[in-house]
Amino acid sequence: MQKIRSRKEVFNFSAGPAVLPTSVLEKVQAEILSYGGSGMSVMELSHRSSWFIEIIESAEVLLRELMAIPDNYKVLFLQGGASLQFAMVPLNIAPNKKIGFIDTGVWSAKAIEEAQKLGGYDVRVLATGKESNFSKLPQIGEIPTDLDYLHITTNNTIEGTCFFDVPKTDVTLVADMSSNILANAYDVRDFGVIYAGAQKNLGPAGVCVVIIREDLLELNTNPLPTMLDFKIQAKNKSLYNTPPTFAIYVMKLVFEWSKQVGGVAAIEKNNRTKAGILYDYLDASTLFSSPVDKSCRSLTNIPFITGDKTIDSDFIKQATAAGFENLTGHRLVGGMRASLYNAFPIEGVYALVDFMKKFAEARGEK
């Protein structure tokens, strides 16, 4: 069987689906035809089989260990991505239909829009970063105590900002943690609900992790569609219907890798080093710059610009030819973006900076 090619050949800066650890992909390759001596691929295993039950239970145990998830929180592996949670969360834990949002960019705006679509909800935007074009986090004033919950996006994949310290409030805090779960250390006890699409730091697309405090499962007393009911999903341990079995299997392997490399603390330290290499160059360059305020720069998603769309386009073209994939900025903001998720190798950051220096020097810049 041909071995997967070395990661050194291409550096993948995709914002998601994103780079996975090479060792995880090699393990998947080795087990793809027969998992655990079963004679069946993971993709062929019954989700009721002992093989898969061991996979999903191990995945939960590992995630609980990595994030220090208290016993009074349920861990769910659901479908529909983080986008489904924009509606599922209010339906389940907002009995008074009063929700507060901190607007920090595209994904928080989508969460706000979905809550408004439900009808009858008092949706309040308590702070917004629109004035700064979302280049920094907004100042958060007094948080009303009558809210069912306050929603934040901990890391803004498109805008490149991050909450390193979350709002302190007695109101239940809900977080979309899709792009920096396991990348930044947070205290789960600060949140009532954490949800995250897997395709950035946790595994392949197709599964969304939801971590929810048990008491919140009792808030909704109205009938909900079965698949949108947290209580039913928790009661059935994410197995009410066929879950995304292959995605959960790969996610379990990523959790094993995360533990092996030292857990969240070690991963965050490495992420700070990787991001620091690129930010230091951007701050010193006369051609490239970061549009994000230094107080809240993301460790995982780093937008950068030249200020000239023609130069940006030329840079992306040359970078792609040199093996630096997926550096094009989001279509809504333009420029470039380097996503340095947990599995992205530090060698790729050094290589990118070297390439950027040469590109700048060819234009008489640094």
Tokens of 182: 């396991």
Average pLDDT score over residue span 245-270: 98
Tell me, yes or no, if 176 is annotated catalytic. yes
Query: 348 pLDDT exceeds 70?
Result: yes
Question: Which of 7-11, 131-135, 178-182, 206-210 is predicted least confidently?
Answer: 7-11
Mean pLDDT of the chain, nearest integer: 96
| Res. 154 pLDDT band, cuts 50 70 90 | very high
- Among candidate residues 103, 107, 136, 229, the one labeled active-site is 107
Residue reference for tokens 């705006």:
109
- pLDDT, tens digit, 9 for 90 and up, residues 191-211: 999 999 999 999 999 999 999
- pLDDT, tens digit, 9 for 90 and up, residues 238-253: 999 999 999 999 999 9
Query: 332 pLDDT exceeds 90?
Result: no
Say what the pLDDT of residue 266 is: 98
CB 147 within 8 A of CB 171: yes
- Among candidate residues 74, 103, 136, 176, the one labeled active-site is 176
Question: Which of 3-12, 51-60, 81-90, 156-165 is predicted least confidently?
Answer: 3-12
Q: Which residues, in sequence order, are CB contacts of 279 under 8 Å at separation 6+?
A: 290, 297, 302
3-state SS assignment for residue 137: coil
- The helix-helix angle for 309-321 and 346-361 (nearest 10°) equals 130
- pLDDT, tens digit, 9 for 90 and up, residues 17-43: 999 999 999 999 999 999 999 999 999
| Res. 7 pLDDT band, cuts 50 70 90 | very low
Beta bridge partners of 129: none
Say what the pLDDT of residue 330 is: 87
pTM metric for this prediction = 0.96
Q: Contacts from 18-23 at CB under 8 Å and sequence distance 24+?
A: 18/199, 18/200, 18/201, 18/339, 18/341, 18/343, 18/344, 19/341, 19/343, 19/344, 20/203, 20/204, 20/250, 20/254, 20/343, 21/254, 21/257, 21/343, 23/257
Tell me how far apart the alpha carbons of residues 42 and 37 are, in angstroms, rounded to a whole number.
11
| Res. 1 pLDDT band, cuts 50 70 90 | very low
Tally the C-alpha atoms within 13 A of residue 248's C-alpha that lie toward its C-beta.
28
- Among candidate residues 74, 136, 200, 252, the one labeled active-site is 200
